[in-house]
Copies of this chain bind each other. A is one copy, B any other.
Amino acid sequence: MIERDAQGKQWTAETAAVTGLHIRRLRTERGLSLSELARRAGIGKATLSGLETGSRNPTAETLYAIAGQLAVPLAALLSAPDAAPTVEGEAVSATLLEVFRDGAVSTELYRLTIRPGAVQVSPAHAPGVVEYLTVFSGTARVGPVAAPRLVAAGEHACWVSDGPHGYAAVGGVPVEASLLIRHPLTD
């Protein structure tokens, strides 16, 4: 299946600087002064200034206050858009966008790009795991290796991934798609 990046992300000087730039950009886009945003968010000017210049390691409380006033999700402040864990395979690049948890089911949402010229085969998952693929552009051949399906732009497919299954782009064009993987929580 999709192997996860076991390498941990880290908070570095660079991360801090990028985060600061994001905040400053969002603030100026809204025509807010540093003092004004600090006042509205209920934080000190010193804190916000230090944050924007990348010389601080903010707490969750501070980040929440700022994101709330800027009316953006926290993720918009923190990471570069693609700092999420990315999985690279022979033919597939996947970015984990969200993890939903509802009752006894965990659902992971990936942004998927399938490169042409190769086929990626993933081994079986745990029983009960289902995958849903929606193609934005290009044409993909996906599903169980025993019974693959052609999915064109705007179409979608789903399959039970309790056996080996593959991903391939058809026609020499990369495929852009979203992939939902639904895991029953077997605890």
Contact = CB atoms under 8 A, between A and B. Distances in A.
Nearest to A69: B8
A40 B8 CA distance: 9
A41 interface: yes
Interface of A: 4-11, 15-16, 19, 25, 28-29, 40-42, 57-61, 63-65, 67-69, 71-76, 78-79, 81, 83-85, 96-103, 105-107, 109, 111, 130, 132, 134, 136-137, 153-154, 156, 158, 176, 178, 180, 182, 185, 187
A4 B132 CA distance: 27
Given A103-B137, A178-B107, A68 B83 contact: yes
Contact of A59 (B59, B153, B156): B59
Interface hub of A10, A71, A137, A176 (most chain B Cβ within 10 A): A71
Given A68-B83, A73-B98, A97-B98, A156 B154 contact: no
Given A73-B97, A75-B73, A102-B137, A58 B60 contact: yes
